[in-house]
Amino acid sequence: MRPSHLFLAVLVAAVWGVNFTVIEIGLDHFPPLLFSALRFLVAALPAVFLVGRPKVAWKWIVAVGLVLGVAKFGLLFVGMDAGMPAGLSSLVLQIQAVFTAVIAGAVLGERPTRVRVAGMAVALAGIGVAAWDEGTSGPLGAFALVIAAAACWGVSNVLTRKASPPDSLNFMVWVSTVPVLPLLALSLLTEGPSADWAALRALDWQGAGTVVYVAWVTTVFGFGAWGWLLRRHPASAVAPFSLLVPVFGMSSAALFLGESVSPARWCAAALLVAGVALTSLPSRRGRTGKPFDGPVGGGNNAAGDIHDEGPGPRRHAGTAGAAGPAARG
């Protein structure tokens, strides 16, 4: 891989890692489901008019859009809004590789090798350490929501393997058209029209910037560049760079949000990254397809000192009792 291509791979990992911090900031401006809906709306428009017609059947676009866009990102944003720290979210979400392997085994008949099984065990041990650490410093309910988001990501990875999109950017842009209306409807039902309207009326440059970043930088640029690399290099050469995402995620959260990282969390990070690396190793027979696993940032909540009781649910700009958006970056 050329130095310029190496730089691009690291840059995409950095963009996806920092995305968790940006979403954390954005959640101070928007209710989580509204924020997620805006993310997909801005990602889809006007890009949908520039990428050409869909190159896979609509059933796959709708299925991935609902599972990835509505379920995965809805759970992730709500979980982070409820108190899951941005850095920890960037780490825990990588357990999607284990869910992908398990679901692919059940649905696609892919039998994991002993090395992959060992990798799953190591990754699950890392999740156990992270859950124990979070249980002493933050809300376990929010932690569980992010785990559920990772499971939905695993389902969407398998659906994407079945779809086999020839153009990842084209596919992601069209997928982004699906979640907008369902997320808006869920936001109106659960977060309330008054909260949504108040957040939109209070929109400032920082809030708008977070939407642009998660939509255009993370989704359009990130997936476009990742797909460009995959078309020029083997997946086995590109995929390992995604393991840098939690490194950038935890580092940016510490730098911009003041999140501290306990020794237990470093241990969890080492176990999880090692486990995901083993789980992601290609099989000798090459039976497994590559997952559509650019961490879309994912991902993303208030940090604070993780040794405290942990952050609780936030109030959003313009909602009753809110003191206005908190600028954390």
pLDDT of residue 299: 44
Question: How many Å apart are CA 162 and CA 98, to the nearest integer?
Answer: 18
pLDDT of residue 134: 64
pLDDT of residue 131: 76
Whole-prediction pTM:
0.81
pLDDT of residue 284: 57
Beta carbons within 10 angstroms of residue 201's beta carbon: 9
pLDDT of residue 300: 36
Question: How many Å apart are CA 38 and CA 45, to the nearest integer?
Answer: 11
pLDDT of residue 314: 59
What is the mean pLDDT for each group of 10 consecutive residues in the chain (329 residues)? 88 95 97 97 92 95 96 97 91 86 85 83 84 70 93 92 89 95 98 96 96 94 86 76 85 90 82 81 54 43 33 49 36
b/e code 170-185 from CB counts within 10 Å (16+ = b): bbbbbbbbbbbebbbe
On whether the CB atoms of residues 104 and 132 are closer than 8 A, the answer is no
Residue 35 tokens, joined? 């924020």
pLDDT of residue 303: 29
Question: How many Å apart are CA 324 and CA 329, to the nearest integer?
Answer: 15
